[in-house]
């Protein structure tokens, strides 16, 4: 998570986004998830079809997948904090444990009333992160549920917003770059106080007069290779038969690439690949992920 980011011009235009079709079956919260922390700030409703998480001055909250996985599809319907959400961070991510952990993130950075949310994506491989990208969403993410999903296979990671790819990260292990490919990871959702960095680089801290801050979740889905870290996985070696390894997920169609490039060109607020102050030399992976 970057503390101070160089903000670039953001020009949002309307254009057609090309979707990646995913399975559209959804499950209830308890099929996949359990409390991680702040359980008294998690409200499970409609037999698990909907979950609200609450952030107030006493606590935030988080829930995590019961099982751990390597490679697969992680999807969540989310409706973000309405009104004043400055200083709050609402995150949906997959992560392993330990110092050299792997992590693939959606982080929704709150804002003052009437000001737009920022979607920040990031990823860690072998404990190394610092790969933040930020886009302005083309809809109001507080008005309704939208679907945020990660497809993670042995070729690439795809971040999807309502089935539109907004970022990819290619597996460049053959060139010596670390890539999440073996550690057991959990799907995690959390809501927490990010006053020191979230809104305008920390200039607008959380104002608990507006609490409780509530984010809502639905359409829970994880379809991924279970890796309990003990009976070690053929997730990494015997992956061919899993649908998320299909050719439409290991490479994007030309129209998807155009759609992704339009998001990058029209909606980008920040891209670590372009931050010459932070990275005087362009990070190795940047030229492989369509963001140049
Ligand atoms: C933005 O989206 C439009 C499609 O509506 C596309 O033609 C254009 O090339 C994109 N990029 C920029 C920088 O405008
Ligand atoms: C909050 O709103 C301001 C003003 O519109 C904008 O510059 C900023 O990118 C928004 N998001 C965050 C997370 O600060």
The answer to whether residue 107 is catalytic is: yes
Return the pLDDT at 3.
36
Residue pointed to by tokens 């959390």: 190
Residue pointed to by tokens 């970022």: 167
Return the pLDDT at 238.
72
Return the pLDDT at 234.
76
Helices (H), the chain: 29-32, 247-250, 254-267
199 lines ligand 2 (CB under 6 A): yes
Write out residues in the chain with pLDDT < 70, as ranges: 1-24, 231-233, 292
How much distance in Å is there from the Cα of 204 to the middle of ligand 2? 10
Hey, whose CA ends up nearest to atom 2 of ligand 1? 262
Return the pLDDT at 9.
34
Q: d(Cα 133, Cα 110) in Å, to the nearest integer?
A: 16
pTM score of the predicted model? 0.91
User: What does residue 29 show for φ and ψ, rounded to 5 degrees?
Assistant: -50, -50
Cis check: omega of the bond before 212, within 30 degrees of 0: yes
The answer to whether residue 200 is catalytic is: no
Return the pLDDT at 14.
42
Q: Per-residue pLDDT tens for 201-222?
A: 999 999 999 999 999 999 999 9
The ligand that comes nearest to the alpha carbon of residue 2 is 2
Q: Looking at ligand 2, which atom is closest to the CA of residue 198?
A: 13
């Amino acid at each position: 998570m970057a503390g101070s980011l160089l903000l670039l011009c953001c020009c949002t235009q309307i254009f057609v986004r090309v979707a990646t079709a995913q399975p559209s079956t959804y499950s209830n919260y308890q099929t996949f998830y359990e409390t991680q922390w702040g359980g008294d700030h998690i409200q499970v409703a409609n037999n698990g079809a909907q979950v609200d998480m609450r952030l107030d001055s006493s606590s935030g909250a988080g829930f995590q997948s019961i099982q751990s996985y390597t490679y697969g599809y992680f999807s969540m319907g989310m409706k973000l904090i309405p009104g004043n959400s400055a200083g709050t961070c609402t995150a949906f991510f997959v992560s392993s444990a330990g110092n050299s952990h792997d992590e693939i993130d959606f982080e929704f950075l709150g804002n003052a009333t009437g000001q737009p949310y920022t979607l920040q994506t990031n990823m860690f491989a072998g404990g190394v992160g610092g790969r933040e990208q930020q886009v302005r969403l083309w809809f109001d993410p507080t008005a309704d549920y939208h679907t945020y999903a990660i497809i993670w296979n042995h070729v690439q990671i795809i971040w999807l917003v309502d089935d539109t790819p907004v970022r990819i990260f290619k597996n460049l292990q053959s060139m010596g770059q670390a890539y999440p490919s073996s550690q057991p990871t959990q799907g995690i959702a959390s809501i927490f106080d990010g006053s020191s960095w979230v809104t305008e680089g920390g200039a607008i801290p959380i104002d608990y007069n507006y609490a409780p801050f509530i984010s809502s979740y639905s359409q829970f889905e994880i379809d991924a290779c279970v890796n309990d870290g003990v009976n070690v996985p053929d997730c990494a070696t015997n992956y061919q038969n899993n649908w998320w390894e299909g050719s439409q997920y290991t490479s994007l169609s030309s129209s998807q690439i155009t759609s992704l490039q339009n998001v990058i060109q029209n909606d980008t607020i920040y891209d670590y690949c372009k931050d010459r102050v932070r990275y005087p030399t362009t990070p190795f992976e940047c030229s492989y992920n369509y963001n140049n």
